Structure 1
Amino acid sequence: MNQKNWKAAVLAALFCAGSVFFPAARAEAVDVWTIAAQSLGVLAAYRSTLASILSMGADPAAQIASMAQDVEKNGLDPNENDVRIVNAVMQGLTEHGGYVLKTNSLPFIWHVTDNADFNACCYPTDYISINRGLVRGLHADEDELAAVLAHEMTHGIEQHSAKNYAKAVAQYFGMSFLNIDAGLTDWNTLNALANYSIAKNVTLPTEYAADEGGFYIMARAGFNPGGGAAAMARMAYYLTYETQNVLEYQDPDEKGKDDFSDHPETELREKRLAGLMTDWSAGHVTVKDRKHVCIDGKELLTVTWTRDDYDNTVENAYYVAGALAKAFHEKDDLAAWGFAERSDGGCDFLDASRVNRALHEFADDAKTSARLYALVADAYAAEEASGARTKMKEAEALRQEAMAAARQTALEANAKVIKKMRDAADTYSDYGMGDKALIQMERVFAAKHMGDEAESYAIRGRAKAVAGDYDGALIDADKACAMDAKNADNFLNRADVRHMRGELTEALADCAAAKAIDAKNPYAPLMSAQIYDEMGNKDAALAAYRDFYALRRDGVRRIPEEYLKTISPKDCREIYEKPREEKERKRQEEYKKTNKTSEKTI
């Protein structure tokens, strides 16, 4: 899916010119881009922009801000079933997809928005926005959604958005240099060439990569390997025959034409994903003419459509084939399929999970099940001579080696990088997202160069408390204070843990300990003030807020009005009273306008 409104906003804000070079052959796009960027002296612009976007992508505050911006603009999908299914799919992908995040990437967060467009996108912050239009367009099908969302996850894992935006910036800079220096052509023409070049030579290759990466994530997570090809078939049908949005419409007669689209044709993507499914099956399973399911080229069965509202034959074919592919991939011999003859002459095989549902439905007769048994038996028998299983396992081993290398790179990150990850975890706790903070801290504790171990325990303890594990939180917090009793932040973290546990007196003692270590730390009096206020001790709260105000004048907005009016009447008026008066003034003006309008009507 495309990068949606975030992409448009960034491009609109950053780019005031057009492109730099003419379209190149797709196979050579990356090399041509690098050569052009170097020759025009815009590589620095690329690197600078990339660094800025990657920095934003590692900041939980930016991630949450991008989510809030999306939700504010589009709203949240009110349909509980949409949200439940997407959450289940994303949980499956993130927990079992077998991928490795870069050290400057964040755990994925997501929302289903109340947007009718058939779309999803991954922001550079690893926030995934899923439109209800996509969920409904795919009929909330878990395996098709898994393919699309794993595709978006791959964009985030490989940091495609950041890299593509940075290349686009460099191209626009380069175009301005060329046009000023040589006066090649008018700005409108060059702008069109820029859009074409960015779409075909920058974005398009990453779409293919995201399809492939997404396939492996969803297949490893246990979804139907035919879901990717099925999703493309469904998307093509929806965009051609069902969409009510003229901007989404895909004319079937326009296929194959070279345009400004930054996405490959759905037909080509379907074929590629079907090919990945075949490879996943050790080469045994194929779909012929989009309806005949074959094993080693021999037809097993022909599917038909099963919905009342449209012909879903193609999707059924890929789901039957995908179930077979999953079984061939995971099971090393015929016995593992669990074939068992039934009294009606048919046979049971594999489990009754969702992934196998279509296969069971179409093979549920004596003739087909007997043929399936024979074809599967022949397929395994032929593997010794063909080496198909060995090749499949070698290919998977190479992918696992690549992930292991990426994981090792993350583990070897220096202490400075790990500190940023630890700080990101603490930021997640600030936002009440203890689960994401704990994911970050898992990465921190796995690192070989953790740095400040005591601080790591303190931050993990706070994260556990935010996530609801209060006992585990106190164990970590106690350990942090014991390991480093000279760090005020360790005691403040434990104070926060004890506050969440309801141990207010103990929390105040930790605040006092932190103040004794570092009298200039503003958070000790701030937390003390909040706890005293909660206990109803207004005098002690006022005194603590005074101390906080003396240390952090710029934090004055964190002081409630009832205390600020005593501490600083001037600040209180600016922050609380004047805005309230202005709001009331506007309300009165609106009231008068409404009354005048009513009088005229009468």
Structure 2
Amino acid sequence: MMMKRWKKQAGMLLGSALLGTSLLVLPAGRAEAVDAWAVAAQSLGVLAAYKSSLASILAMGNDVNAQVASARQDRQENGLDDNEHDVRIVNKVMQQLVTQGRYVLKANSLPFIWGVNNSNEFNASCFPTDYISINRALVRGLECDEDELAAVLGHEMTHGIEQHSARNYAKAVAQYYGMSFLNMDAGLMDWNKLNALASYSIAKNVTLPTEYEADEGGFYIMTSAGFNPGGPAAAMYRMAYYLTYETKNVLEYQDLDEKNKNQENFSDHPETELREQRLAKMMTDYGCGHVTVKDRKNVLIDGQELLTADWTRDDYDNTVENAYYTAGGLAKAFHDYDSPDAWNFRPDGEGGVDFLDDSRVYAVLRDAVRSRGLGSKLEQMVRAAYAGEAQSGARAAMRQEEAQREASFAAVQQDVQAADAKAVKKMRENGDAYSDYGMGRQALWEFSRVFASKNMDDEAESYVMRGRAKAVEGDYVGALADANRGVALDGKNAYNFLNRADIYRMAGNREAALSDCASAKKVDAENPFSYLISAEIEDEQGNKDAALKEYQAFYKLRPAAFRRIPPEYLQKISAKDYKTWQKEKAEQDKKKAEARDKARKAKK
């Protein structure tokens, strides 16, 4: 599900690739004829290509403007899903994943943003900028199931966390260059065959392993956020069903020929049944090895059958999903609770036994057990399972694996906190850019990392910029407290006054904002933004003459930025630039009209 649109942008001939041993084997005679210095130079060229590509894409992935552009591009190419229920469910799931899931982003990564587009392809993707694009067809193909969506979106988050898009593309560049160099020296095959071989090597040796890694990472993100551990395996089954029986897109169709099962194909994604099996095994391990699903319908505890799942819908055989959700509820309880007493087994008032609580994650399990009258049987099996853990060591093994993951998280967190001053400055700039876009939550996320860092390069500016982010979120008291502290620490930085002016302006105190603009002018009379902000505030207050004077001062300092001056003032300041603005506006209006016509035709 990763990077479909990004691959098209970055170069379709490359996809993603392996930096390492080539699949080509040179004949001995031709190999000896290759000049040693030429081979060395080619090797250095491959390494340079890899490093250059990686650096460029990682830089893009740490640029707020590029992230916002990713979302805008997605909207322009695919439109927005206008179904409010789709969007509400995705927002709910993503918000739970990003706020409650256990993960750590690298120092040069941005916080996640996302959108639901109107594409009819069953897909989701994570751009190098940590923008997650979710297609309408995927949301509806998974029938807005929260646990299955959490599995898919956790998978995409892992692509972003591990920077797979950037690293795979950089390796693709290196792989392709390396194979090309060898072919130029050895002349082994025509270029069409070389492209096919490179694409196959890329798919199998680079992209495919990262898909497995994303499956695993997504599993632990979604389970740590409180979703059902059976969701990922259920999502794989539902995905296979959709691609076989429901999709109307011939390019998505998946043939369930028995001969093709349990083996990899040419695709850069693993076969769905193999992924389902791997994710089911993760669910079992998550529940201390107690819970398994046999034949996709029988739910077992320590090898003994508790129940057999069946249909609960008329329009679709959801037996498999019910089996995984039943087992997932058991696995979560075994994982979360260290004793059977914590399951809260109790009389249900109807002669049976109730257990756990009524949270959504246990709903399928509790319904299945209660409808069959298996509460007493479940209690006996659960107590026996815990009793056997001392001998099997299952819980200790599970906790040890969790401790290892926590150690990995801690190591990444330490790296982030130890980032050098240049990296911390970029975090602060990213935070301020988010404030410019009105994205206060993301801005404050960046500033939390700035203030947790050991190498903050400008404390005063950091306080004032964080104050501006708080103001974007509506916390004007906290915003001014931060801004006042920053100005007190450094009153010689004009931008500290300008940021505080923006806070006053957002809070509705225009006089205080103008006063701070005046202070900024005293510190640096050549800073154009002092005049721009003053002009905007004067215009807001209806002081046209004062606004014109400030815009004239701004234009004198930054004539190339004339597009930031409203046309009624620009006409008086520069007739030439006003004509340019008129021409550009007419072109933009024409494009918008064409886009509206195209959208209307598409709906018909």
Scaled by the length of structure 2, the TM-score of the pair is: 0.92
Shift of 1:47: 0.8
Q: Which whole-Å CA distance do the structure 2 matches of 1:180 and 1:379 have between them? A: 63
Question: Using the alignment, how far apart are the partners of 1:533 and 1:14 within structure 2?
Answer: 52
* AA aligned opposite 1:220: S
Match of 1:330 in 2: 336
Pick closer, same or farther for the CA change 1:345–1:37 going to 2, 3 Å.
farther
SS at match of 2:292: strand
Cα shift at 1:39? 4.5
CA distance in 2 between partners of 1:508 and 1:575 (Å):
28
Amino acid at match of 2:380: A
Question: How far off its partner does 1:180 sit?
Answer: 2.1
Counterpart among 520, 531, 536 of residue 526 in structure 2: 520
C-alpha contact (below 8 Å) 1:20/1:172 kept by paired residues: no
Q: For structure 1, which segment, 166-175 or 139-148, has the greater mean C-alpha deviation from structure 2 after superposition?
A: 166-175
**Are the aligned partners of 1:347 and 1:366 in contact in 2 as well (CA < 8 Å)?**
no
User: In 2, Cα distance between the equivalents of 1:156 and 1:271?
Assistant: 24
Structure 2: which 5+ residue stretches go unaligned? 25-38, 593-604
2:69 maps to a residue whose letter is A
CA distance in 2, matches of 1:228, 1:8: 28
Query: Alignment partner of 2:212: what SS?
Result: helix
Contact 1:458 1:490 in 2 (8 A): yes
8 Å CA contact 1:19–1:197 kept in 2: the answer is: no
Amino acid across the alignment from 2:77: K
State how far apart, in whole Å, the 2-side matches of 1:505 and 1:537 are.
13
Do structure 1's residue 133 and structure 2's residue 167 form an aligned pair? no
Aligned-partner residue type, residue 499 of structure 2: N
Q: Secondary structure at the match of 1:308?
A: coil
Query: Offset at 1:558?
Result: 0.7
1:13 deviates by 8.5
Distance 1:3 1:586, change over 3 A: closer
Q: Which residue of 1 aligns with 2:374?
A: 368
Q: 1:119 to 1:579 in 2, by over 3 A?
A: closer
Aligned to 2:441: 435
Residues 111 and 584 of structure 1, relative CA distance in 2, 3 Å threshold = closer
Q: Which residue identity does 1:573 align to in structure 2?
A: K
CA contact (8 A) 1:233 1:315 kept: yes
1:65 aligns with 2:69: yes
What amino acid is aligned across from residue 378 of structure 1 in structure 2? Answer: A
Contact 2:57–2:128 (Cα < 8 Å) also in 1: yes
Change (3 A) 1:553 1:355: same
The structure-2 alpha-carbon separation of the partners of 1:77 and 1:366, relative to structure 1 and needing over 3 Å to count, comes to closer
**Cα separation, partners in 2 of 1:146 and 1:316, compared to 1, 3 Å:** same
Cα separation, 1, equivalents of 2:12 and 2:295 = 44
Match of 2:168 in 1: 164
1:391 maps to which of 397, 402, 406: 397
Q: Which amino acid aligns with 1:575?
A: W
The change in CA–CA distance for 1:218 and 1:471 in structure 2 (over 3 A counts) is same
Matched to 1:2, the amino acid is: M
Counterpart residue identity of residue 150, structure 2: A
How many equivalent pairs are there? 575
Q: Report if the CA contact (8 A) 2:18-2:205 is conserved.
A: no
1:425 has 2:425 as partner:
no
Shift of 1:258: 4.6
Matched, 1:534 2:507: no
1:183 to 182, 187, 196: 187
For structure 1, the residue ranges without an aligned partner over 5 or more in a row are 25-34, 588-602
Q: Secondary structure at the match of 2:370?
A: coil
Q: What residue number does 1:9 align with?
A: 9
Instruction: Tell me how far apart the structure 1 counterparts of residues 272 and 414 of structure 2 sit (CA, whole Å).
Output: 36
1:407 partner amino acid: Q
Residues 23, 203 of structure 1: CA spacing in aligned structure 2 closer, same or farther, 3 A cutoff? Answer: farther
For the Cα contact (< 8 Å) 2:14–2:169, is it kept in 1? no
Matched, 1:279 2:285: yes
CA distance in 1, matches of 2:562, 2:453: 38
Q: Of 232, 239, 256, which aligns to 1:235?
A: 239
How many angstroms apart in 2 are the aligned matches of 1:478 and 1:455?
11
Which residue does 2:450 correspond to in 1?
444
The answer to whether structure 1 residue 104 and structure 2 residue 104 are counterparts is no
TM superposition shift of 1:93? 0.4
Cα distance, 1:257 vs structure 2 = 5.3
Within the alignment, does 1:46 sit opposite 2:50 as a pair? yes
| Change in CA separation of 1:93 and 1:563 when aligned onto 2, cut-off 3 Å | same
Instruction: Give the deviation of 1:23 after TM superposition.
Output: 4.8
**Number of the residue aligned with 1:546:** 552
- 1:38, distance to aligned residue in structure 2 (A): 8.5
Q: Residues of 1 paired with 2:100 and 2:585: CA distance?
A: 51
C-alpha offsets along residues 23-47 of structure 1, whole Å, 9 cap, x if unaligned?
Answer: 59xxxxxxxxxx9998574011011
1:64-122 per-position Cα deviation (integer Å, ceiling 9, x unaligned): 00110011110111111000000000000000111000010000000010111111000
Q: Return closer, same or farther for 1:90/1:580 CA change in 2, 3 Å cut-off.
A: closer
Please give the alpha-carbon distance, in whole angstroms, between the structure 2 residues aligned to 1:20 and 1:192: 18
1:222 aligns with 2:229: no
Q: Give the superposition deviation at 1:237.
A: 0.9
Q: Distance in 2 between matches of 1:478 and 1:196?
A: 59
Amino acid at match of 1:464: K
Q: Partner of 2:125: helix, strand, or coil? A: strand
In structure 1, distance between residues paired with 2:123 and 2:537? 46
Name the CA distance, whole Å, in 2 between partners of 1:109 and 1:212.
21
Residue identity opposite 1:64 in structure 2:
V
Alignment of 1:22-101 (within 5 A): 23=23, 39=43, 41-101=45-105
Asked whether 1:299 is paired with 2:281, we answer no
Q: Is the 8 A contact 1:77 1:112 kept in 2?
A: yes
Instruction: Tell me what 1:459 maps to.
Output: 465
Residue 271 of structure 2: which of 246, 265, 269 is its match? 265
Taking only the aligned residue pairs, the percentage that are identical comes to: 64
Closer, same or farther in 2 for the Cα pair 1:583/1:217, shift >3 Å?
closer
1:363 partner SS: helix
Corresponding residue of 2:412: 406
Counterpart of 1:209 (choices 186, 208, 213) is: 213
Could you give the per-residue CA deviations for residues 1-42 of structure 1, whole angstroms, max 9, x where no partner exists? Answer: 131122122114889x99997559xxxxxxxxxx99985740
State whether residues 152 and 210 of structure 1, in contact with CA within 8 Å, keep that contact through their aligned partners in structure 2: yes
Q: Residues 375, 38 of structure 1: CA spacing in aligned structure 2 closer, same or farther, 3 A cutoff?
A: farther
Coordinate RMSD, CA, aligned: 2.3
Partners of 2:523 and 2:167 lie apart in 1 by: 45
- SS, match of residue 227 in structure 2: coil
Decide whether aligned partners of structure 1 residues 37 and 540 sit closer, same or farther in structure 2, where only a CA change above 3 A counts.
Answer: same
Q: 1:161 aligns to what SS in structure 2?
A: helix
| Contact 1:19–1:176 (Cα < 8 Å) also in 2 | no
Tell me the equivalent position of 1:145: 149
Query: Following TM superposition, by how much is the alpha carbon of 1:309 offset from its aligned partner in structure 2, in angstroms?
Result: 1.4
CA contact (8 A) 1:226 1:318 kept: yes
- Structure 2 counterpart of 1:315: 321
8 A Cα contact 1:147 1:231, kept in partner: yes
- The alpha-carbon distance between structure 1 residues 477 and 124, as it changes in their structure 2 partners (threshold 3 A), is same
